[in-house]
A and B are shown apart, each in its own frame.
Chain A
Amino acid sequence: MEVLGIAARTLRVTGTAIVVAFAVGVPLGAWLGLSRRRGRLAVATVVNAGMGLPPVVAGLLVAYLVARSGPFGLGWGCSVGAMVGAQVLIATPIVAGLVMASLLGLPRETHLQARALGARGWRLAAVLLPECRVGLLAAAVAGYGAIVSEVGAALMTGCNLHGTGADTRLLTTAMVEAVRRGAFGEAAALAGVLLGVVVAIYAVLTWGQHRAVGGARPELALSGRGRDG
């Protein structure tokens, strides 16, 4: 039963983090993929570099910023919120970078058509983003993969606490603790649940990905819309 509680918390924390990462990363990636403003390349460089941000660095940064002994004296360390913060920092550049890449990867004609139709700014993004459904799902796959399997940042920001005062264990951090105690059977059980969770989530994402491709070829969809207008 304890394992189920840890699994439920893992889903809650990683789920919240990936939703926030999408809320921030998709608009950011859309701006980077569509804007022609100066400064875009500098931000794109930061985002691309952020895709390779080592999770422990993200964990260290968040743990430091929210710590009681940190610059703001917050005392929010060792909490579920701090873990979500670190995971958002890990996943957001991945989501933004892949959204940007898939927008840049659309055929040049698609961009030109959308602009010829008068779409600008957010309306341009609203027209073109559905054309990169596959890229968006790839962003979900890569972003979620980075945080659900991560342990260093979660340990630094969540501290793997358990007891009546708080519980911040994730499947990964609980596994590390079990191994440390020499409880390999318990660690194996946690590993089994983690694998089950990951496979189930990726089954859904993969199904979505293939449906997105099978539904309509992106170019056809846009040219069809063009004819209607």
Chain B
Amino acid sequence: MLACVALLLALGMVACGGVASEGPLRAAGGTIVVDTGLADALAEAYVDAGGPPLEVRAVGSGEAVALGVAGEVDLLLVHIPERVDELLASGDAVEAEPFARIRYVVAGPPDDPAGVAGAGSFAEAFRRIAREDAPFVSRGDRSGTHLRELAVWDASGERTGDYVETGQGQAETIRIADERGAYLLTDVATLLMLEGAVGLDTLASDPEPWTIYEAVALPGPRLDDVRRLLRFVGGEEARELVACFGGGVRPVPEG
């Protein structure tokens, strides 16, 4: 912990300068990196390292890609690797740099009416929810989390009869699940951020609970600036910042 504080102080004092600034870089990102403050922490560290400021719109990864393809932003902070691969193949994106892993869990009401606690995988947890027709809340917004959730439903082969989509961000969706006494698939970081405000319990995990967040450079006039940012978020300083961030956020494995 002390090492983390020292690191953050050191980052704050570094003032490299030298990078030409032509106004802020515009990014669109998933709501998880924005709501938890991870995007802000990285942006702050980047400014301290002499880079231009970073403006991040929290819209969900699916919508972020749409904004990127439309040329509304300079880069993306998203966790839909398959879609990013497509963008790279089609030339709609130039380069991608993974910078964080976010862990998912199945959370739900503490009395756990569907008996989800102890399920060995997300698919098994969803099967138990479907068997009881227990209430389930979904982002429903083509975000990375929503796509992951849909893949789990496919793997479980069933669907609960009490299924509700919010069309809103991860934090709102957690609050709504709490209000309805419902289950949901959520990242740990946003859930921890709402600790105390909501009464949901973490009930089940998965052998592969992670999702990879990537910074994606898009073609455009700021491409060189964005590439420098990608070097930064993939570098050692950012790695340690992400490692210190806590709350179910980890750096990507090396290599």
Contacts and interface: CB of A to CB of B under 8 A. Distances in A.
Interface in B145-195: 161-168, 172, 176, 178-182
A69 B199 contact: yes
Interface of B: 59-60, 62-63, 66-67, 70, 135-136, 138, 140-142, 161-168, 172, 176, 178-182, 197-199
Contacts of A163: 138, 140, 163-165
A165 B176 CA distance: 13
Given A159-B176, A160-B168, A182 B67 contact: yes
Q: Which 7 A-B pairs have the closest CB atoms?
A: A165-B162, A163-B164, A177-B167, A165-B164, A77-B179, A163-B163, A161-B164
Nearest to B59: A180
Contact of A161 (B142, B166, B199): B166
A75 B167 contact: no
B176 A164 contact: no
A78 B176 contact: yes
Nearest to B109: A68
A68 B164 contact: no
Interface residues of A, number: 18
Contact of B180 (A69, A160, A165, A182): A165
Contacts of A68: 178-179, 181, 199
Nearest to B169: A180
Given A75-B181, A159-B166, A69 B176 contact: no
Task: Indicate the member of B161, B166, B178, B179 with the most A CB atoms within 10 Å.
Answer: B179
Contacts of A78: 176, 179-180
A227 interface: no
A70 to B, nearest CB: 10
Nearest to A168: B164
A23 interface: no
Contacts of A159: 166, 168, 172, 176, 179
Interface of A: 67-69, 75, 77-78, 159-166, 177, 180-182
B150 to A, nearest CB: 13
B165 A162 contact: yes
A180 B167 CA distance: 9
Nearest to A77: B179
B198 A162 contact: no
Contacts of B60: 180
Given A164-B164, A180-B60, 16 more contacts: A67-B179, A68-B181, A69-B199, A77-B179, A78-B179, A159-B166, A159-B172, A159-B179, A161-B165, A161-B166, A162-B167, A163-B163, A165-B163, A165-B164, A166-B180, A182-B63
Contacts of B168: 159-160, 177, 180
Contacts of B162: 164-165
Contacts of A67: 179
B161 A164 contact: yes
A162 B138 CA distance: 10
8 contacts: A68-B178, A69-B199, A159-B168, A160-B166, A162-B167, A163-B140, A165-B135, A165-B163
B34 to A, nearest CB: 14
Contacts of B164: 161-166
B102 to A, nearest CB: 21
B43 to A, nearest CB: 22
A57 to B, nearest CB: 19
